[in-house]
Amino acid sequence: MFNKFAAGVGLLAVLSAPAFAGPVKVGMITTLSGGGAGLGIDVRDGFLLAVKQSGNTDMEVIVEDD
């Protein structure tokens, strides 16, 4: 009896989770100023291009300078 109840609760939790899913936030810290800024900017631009080409519309990228 308990196993059926636990399975039902688990199934309910799994099915209801996508209804509350929001955008995925991805953080990126790279060198955007100073001597290594050229490399850091290229890394940032490459990462943002990969996210754009993936077609994933529910992803927010947060970029910060180190």
pLDDT tens digit string along 30-42?
999 999 999 999 9
Q: Please report, in tens digits, the pLDDT of each residue of the chain (66 residues total).
A: 656 677 766 666 666 656 567 788 999 999 999 999 999 999 999 999 999 999 888 889 999 999
Long-range CB contacts (< 8 A, 24+ apart) of 39-42?
A: 40/65, 40/66
Residue 22: the pLDDT is 79
CA 44 – CA 30 distance, rounded (Å)? 7
The domain spans of the chain are 22-66
